[in-house]
Every structure is written in C-alpha cells, then in structure tokens.
C-alpha cells in the first residue's frame, strides 16, 4: 500500500511542472495595464491551499498572490485572458469579519464586480469567485461577475507583481528604525 501511495505522490510531483508550466500573461502598461503577470494555479483545491500555493510561487522574481482586481479594465483583461465560462477563485474574502471583504494581498478595496444580489452570504459564504453565472444561463450573459461562496474548490488566478508591504510590517520596520536611531544617539 505504501509503495502505491509513494508511486502516486511521485507521479503527481512529476506532473506538477507540466501542469503549472503555463506561462503567465502580462497586462502591459502599453495597453492600459499595470505590468503585472497573471497565471493559474496548477490544481483544483480549497481557498487556503490555493492561497498558500500562490504565495509560495514567483514569476520573474516577483511574488505571487491570489489576484486582487482594482478596475473594470483589469476585470475585463482577466475575462479575455482566461475566458468567461469557468469559475476561478480570486483573493477576496470576508473570513476575518463577516461583510468586510478584503484582498489577501493587503491592497485596499477600490473596485468590485458582484453579480446583482451578491454578496448574499447564503450559507456562510466567505470566499469570492470570478465568472459567476447561474446554471443554464446562455453564453450571452457576460463573464466576469463575482459571487460569494462557502468553502471553494477550483483553480485560482495568481497575480505576480511587486510585493505589497503589509501595514504591520511597515510599523515593525519603523519601530525598529526609530529604536536603532535612539540607541545610536544614546551611544554618542
């Protein structure tokens, strides 16, 4: 049994580079973008697993995180890049405080594209997905709407860009800097 399990794990590890090898796509500033890169997670999984995978990945030296969307243009770029039919996990959640949606990247919320009537928290829904359509709706219904869902499972959209410092990190850095300055001043 352990041999079979070991072979399964080995096969999965060998497949990961091929699945995750799809090259991220840049939203160039020449076309109105932010020069960030966007790709997909290599496997279907829970929000927490997708978030961990995204934060553990890099592209061209830039850290990854589940996508944060800040404009209609960025939302439309994602529809055009990944299609408008599949539901993708994005980095928007209200797990810390119900009804207060935040980006996992720490960036401020400046834009939303909720499907009309959403978010509705039906069944303790704490995670946002991209490209929400009701079952049976025709393809003429545009993609790109968001919906809140309970524990999600799917592919995630990963954004690669310059690191966004968390406010707590900045406070810690500032406190350390002031302490070092005071210590040096005292020694003089």
Phi first, then psi: give them for residue 82, nearest 5 degrees: -110, 0
Q: Model's pTM, two decimal places?
A: 0.73
Quote the tokens at residue 156.
């995630």
**Cβ neighbour number for residue 112 with a 10 Å cutoff:** 14
End-to-end CA distance of the chain: 69
pLDDT tens for each residue of 60-69: 999 999 999 9
* pLDDT higher at 42 or 13: 42
Residue 91: name the closest of 82, 77, 101 by CA: 101
The pLDDT value recorded for residue 179 is: 67
> Residues 6 or more apart from 41 whose CB is under 8 A from it?
20, 50, 53, 54, 89, 155, 156, 157, 158
Structure confidence by residue, pLDDT tens digits, 86-103: 889 999 999 999 999 999
The H or E element that residue 102 is part of is strand 102-103
Mean pLDDT taken over the chain: 81
Cβ neighbours around 142 below 10 Å, total: 11
In tens, the pLDDT along 118-175 reads 999 888 899 999 988 666 666 666 788 999 999 867 899 999 998 665 555 555 555 6
Percent of the chain clearing pLDDT 90 (strictly above)? 55
Domains of the chain listed by start with CATH number: 24-183 (3.10.100.10)
């Amino acid at each position: 049994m352990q041999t079979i399990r070991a072979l399964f794990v080995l096969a999965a590890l060998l497949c990961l580079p091929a699945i995750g090898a799809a090259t991220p796509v840049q939203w160039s500033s020449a076309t109105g973008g932010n020069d960030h890169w966007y790709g997909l997670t290599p496997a279907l999984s829970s929000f927490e697993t997708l978030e961990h995978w995204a934060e553990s990945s890099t592209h061209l030296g830039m850290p990854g995180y589940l996508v944060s969307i800040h404009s209609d243009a960025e939302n439309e770029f994602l529809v055009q890049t990944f299609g408008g039919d599949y539901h993708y996990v994005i980095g928007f959640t209200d797990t810390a405080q119900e009804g207060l949606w935040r980006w996992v990247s720490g960036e401020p919320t400046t834009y939303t594209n909720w499907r009309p009537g959403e978010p509705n928290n039906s069944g303790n829904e704490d995670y946002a997905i991209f490209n929400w359509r009701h079952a049976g709706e025709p393809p003429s219904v545009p993609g790109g709407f968001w919906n809140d869902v309970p524990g999600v499972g799917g592919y995630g959209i990963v954004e690669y860009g310059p690191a966004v410092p968390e406010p707590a990190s900045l406070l810690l850095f500032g406190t350390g800097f002031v302490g070092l300055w005071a210590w040096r001043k005292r020694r003089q």
